[in-house]
Amino acid sequence: MTTETRRFGMHANLLYDVITKQAGTLQKAILEGVMNGVDAEASNISITLKSDSVVIEDDGKGFADRAEIENFFETFGTPHQEGDATYGRFRMGRGQMFAFGKNSWSTNTFRMDVDIKGRGLDYDLREVDERHPGCRIEIDLYDELMPSEIEDIRRSMRKWVAFVDVPVTLDGVVISANPADAEWTVETEDAYYDLSSTKTQLAVYNLGVLVMEVHAGRYGIGGTVVSKERLDVNFARNDVTSSCPVFSKIKAELKKHSDKESSKTRKLTDSQRHYLCEQIAAGVITEEDFDKPIFTDVEGRRFSLEKFSNALWRQDNTILVCEKGDRFAIRVKQQGMAFCMAKETAESLGCKNAEQVIRTLRDAVADLHFQGMTNWKVQSLRAHLAETKTAEVEDFRHLVTKEYEPLDPAKLPKTRKVLLDAIRKSSYYIATEMGVAFRQIRPGQSDLAHAWTDGSSTIWVETRQFSLLTKGYKGCARMAALLAHEYLHSGPDTETHEHDGEFYERFHNVVIDTDLIGRAADSMMAYLANAARKDSRSPSKTILKFEDLHEALERAGGKPNGQLITESEAAEMEALAALEAASEIEDEEEQAKAA
């Protein structure tokens, strides 16, 4: 019998899939081009971004000869030699650029043209007379970019290459800085650190390129870390491997600063509270933890384990979990009916509801023992937890009085003032189109209504409804329907009021027979976009999607092949959705009154 030694190979289809499916986003592909430039020892790297193309150019070594092209461009996965690259590990990243468009690479006296979608794995290699130093990558995109996508790519690239020590320009603007020239709170032989107990995120950079952003609670402190040595990252380059020796030393440094911050003051940050909650859930509790303000209640007040134990006893040994700031739950707490734990604390404990919270805490203190004076604190908490009952906010709904409470607009946070101004702007349009007198729009709070009016001069909008504007066009359409509903009331609607057939007929005529809702929603979206840009911020993704729709309609000039609808048709569809939403509003109000 003959034994033959064979070697495994890769089918062309698998390589095609690797090239096309490893690509997550275009900005990730552009980042690969930037890192390739650093690996090629470039002194400058530039990115030019347009709706239909991307150009990445560097003045590095490029491909010196045909052999390098065959080994490192044409062949995927050729291993790096130790120390020959800053970032490179797999020699697969260029495939991400291939996946998004036709590629033309110019380097020294060579040009490589790639069209994965059109020609598969075949590419053209030719020698040209004109020498191009470094490497220039031109990508003719398969899919044209919308304004929101361009903005998203710019935002991502500014963040991702922030500390690359080679100057990187995006559309002519430098977006990177050498970390050695920046100010840091801590510097070790392994990394630069800008740490703060008040920051909620920790950004980790691998030699200047962002690898991951994690909640500060993961390491007990937030800020920025830029490694001085290469980190071992996963294939997707979005996490550090658990075996990375450099990051092990970085984690030890983070823990040292987290412990220092939490020990020097009783006032903890949200990140530190999150970290300590995780420790408690794991049964890791110290004597000092009994005096630290770890838990948060519905009013945002902080409780140590000792004070939490006492609060349970004072509030009928009952606990519920709710959103922080829930006005209904605040009243439940103020009347001493239950300890109302903020949802954020429950989630930090790894719990979804009050029952899980109690079970977790009972397990955490079951075998807990301290010596000396504090032992009675443990015993007291254990006894109170044993007697604690759980409840839901709805269990107390019938016991709490409902009110309508106007608020002072001047005391609103800046973000809510912007939303209020957007609502006010659309209100002028709604009043004019309905042929009624304009009413002042003011903020308010109520457990009963989404909005209410005196029927003549003022409409109050419940502040929780402001968040509708952050949900995009549909949310703005619902807000417009809510305002139209209030304008139809000719008297106060804070007491019992009827919605008869005539009322609904008038409401139907306003919503369906005119484009009032669509245009009012347009005005809100446009105002929010302008307000964001005036404040030197990028508009939110929902607003950018709205601008995308208008851009698409303008490019298409109507509705080609039935794929796009006209703006008026879109407004009518949104108006129908708003009518349904308004009916839901009425149903909710009637059900609340009946209760």
- The string of pLDDT tens digits covering residues 515-538 is 788 888 888 888 888 888 787 777
- Distance from C-alpha of 42 to C-alpha of 167, rounded to nearest angstrom: 9
Q: Who wins on pLDDT, 239 or 182?
A: 182
Q: Predicted confidence band at 459 (pLDDT cuts at 50, 70, 90)?
A: very high
| pLDDT at residue 347 tops 90 | yes
What pLDDT does 581 receive? 46
Q: What is the DSSP string of 346-405?
A: HHHTT-SSHHHHHHHHHHHHTT----GGGHHHHHHHHHHHHH-EE--GGGGGGGS---EE
CA distance readout (Å), 447 to 316, 335, 400, 588: 24, 16, 10, 11
Q: Assess whether pLDDT exceeds 60 at residue 266.
A: no
Q: Which of 181, 251, 177, 185 is nearest to 208 (CA)?
A: 177
**What amino acid occupies position 548?**
D
Query: Average per-residue pLDDT in the chain?
Result: 80
3-state SS class at 143 = coil
Pairing of strands 440-446, 404-406: antiparallel
| Per-residue model confidence (pLDDT) at position 415 | 85
Strand-pairing partners, residue 446, are 404
Say if residue 576's pLDDT is above 70: no
Q: Which residue has the tokens 């030890």?
A: 252
pLDDT value of residue 77? 55
Q: Which two tokens stand for residue 31?
A: 């980042």
What pLDDT was estimated at residue 284?
A: 83
pLDDT surpasses 50 at 430: yes
Asked if residue 580 has pLDDT above 50, the reply is no
What is the reported pLDDT for 550?
A: 63
pLDDT band (50, 70, 90) for residue 473:
confident
Residue 401 has pLDDT above 60, yes or no: no
pLDDT at 414 over 90: no
Percentage of the chain surpassing pLDDT 90?
29
- Contact, 451 vs 486, CB < 8 A? yes
Tell whether the model's pLDDT for residue 259 goes beyond 80. no
| pLDDT tens digit sequence for 204-243 | 998 888 988 988 877 878 899 999 988 887 766 678 888 8
Residue 346, pLDDT score: 95
| CB 565, CB 473: distance < 8 Å | no
Q: How far apart are CA 220 and CA 271, in angstroms?
A: 6
Query: What CA–CA distance (Å, rounded) separates 519 from 97?
Result: 41
Least confident of 108-112, 190-194, 399-403: 399-403
State the Cα–Cα distance between residues 545 and 533, nearest whole angstrom: 15
| More confident position, 396 or 227 | 227
Q: Give the per-residue pLDDT at 59.
A: 92
**CB–CB of 305/341 below 8 Å?**
no
Q: DSSP letter at 203?
A: E
Identify the pLDDT of residue 308. 92
Choice between 564 and 99, residue whose per-residue pLDDT is larger: 99
User: From CA 383, how far away is CA 496, in angstroms rounded?
Assistant: 48
List, as one string, the DSSP characters of 455-524: SSSEEEEEGGGGGGGGG-HHHHHHHHHHHHHHHT-SS--SS-----HHHHHHHHHHHHSSSHHHHHHHHH
Alpha helix segments (H runs only) across 40-93: 66-68
The pLDDT of residue 269 is above 50: yes
The pTM of the full predicted model, rounded to 2 decimals, is: 0.56
Considering only CA atoms, which of 571, 407, 412 is closest in space to residue 476?
A: 571
